[in-house]
Amino acid sequence: MRSELPYILVLYYSRSGATADMARQIAKGVESIPGIEARLRTVPPVSPVSEAVAPEIPEQGAVYVDHDDLRHASGLALGSPTRFGNMASPVKYFLDTTSSLWLNGAMIDKPACAFTSTASLHGGQETTLVSMLLPLLHHGMVYAGIPYSETALLETQGGGTPYGASHLAGPRSDRPVDEHERALCVAQGKRMARLGLALAAMREAR
Ligand SMILES: Cc1cc2nc3c(=O)[nH]c(=O)nc-3n(C[C@H](O)[C@H](O)[C@H](O)COP(=O)(O)O)c2cc1C
């Protein structure tokens, strides 16, 4: 039976597991705040064969997202590996199917954040996060980064930016999410949970 609690949708794409690991840490942060849950969902890969249809259940990872997951969410944490300094096409492809939500203003005044993983430290974490912010602003969402009161932002030797959580996977994609990167994922999840509850109260009071 599905819970009636409000939830933050933690929606990601991941091919080799790093962004999926970050998503689980963000979900942990969300669930550490009473009164709200995390809902982990992924997007199907895209295929060069335009008529290809994804199976209902992915081979691994979270269940595929649908528009209702987004419509009823109290906030969105959106994760993508960096692809040439930008979000991966499956994430963009899914966002491009959300115009009915945009038309209805379903995401207006809900909090949003982004997270990413890269192979190289200067390989585009910030540009990817900023590229992910753009469609979320078009949806009227309230974008939340990570404030420098999170000291891991100053201490990290890997990922972690004020634009959102990030992770350095290394050239062989085998560097685990380290202590500072994990702390920032959890902090981002907590912040989304608090903002999700606060903005839901604000929308109800209107
Ligand atoms: C097509 C493609 C483009 C990529 N572009 C970049 C890039 O611009 N900068 C970078 O540092 N890593 C890049 N990578 C590496 C991935 O971002 C990195 O391996 C990431 O950790 C994968 O996340 P995942 O484990 O969630 O799939 C690219 C990988 C692929 C397959």
Mean pLDDT score, 152-173: 97
Mean pLDDT score, 33-57: 85
pLDDT at 37 over 90: yes
96 CA distance to ligand 1 middle (Å) = 21
Cβ–ligand 1 distance for 168 under 6 Å, the answer: no
pLDDT at position 59, please? Answer: 74
133 CA distance to ligand 1 middle (Å) = 19
Q: What is the reported pTM?
A: 0.96
pLDDT at 202 over 60: yes
pLDDT at 52 over 90: no
Domain chopping of the chain, boundaries: 7-46+54-205
Q: Which residue has a Cα nearest atom 7 of ligand 1?
A: 84
* Angstrom distance (rounded) from CA 24 to CA 38: 9
pLDDT at position 174, please? Answer: 95
Cβ–ligand 1 distance for 121 under 6 Å, the answer: no
Cβ–ligand 1 distance for 82 under 6 Å, the answer: yes
Residue type, 78: L
Mean pLDDT score, 177-181: 98
Higher pLDDT: 107 or 4? It is: 107
Each residue's pLDDT tens digit, 99-115:
999 999 999 999 999 99
Each residue's pLDDT tens digit, 104-145:
999 999 999 999 999 999 999 999 999 999 999 999 999 999
pLDDT at position 2, please? Answer: 64
Structural tokens at position 42: 């992924």
194 CA distance to ligand 1 middle (Å) = 31
Cβ–ligand 1 distance for 120 under 6 Å, the answer: yes
Cβ–ligand 1 distance for 15 under 6 Å, the answer: yes
% of the chain at pLDDT higher than 90: 89
Mean pLDDT score, 11-30: 97
Cβ–ligand 1 distance for 197 under 6 Å, the answer: no
Class of domain 7-46+54-205: alpha beta
pLDDT confidence bin for 55, thresholds 50/70/90: low
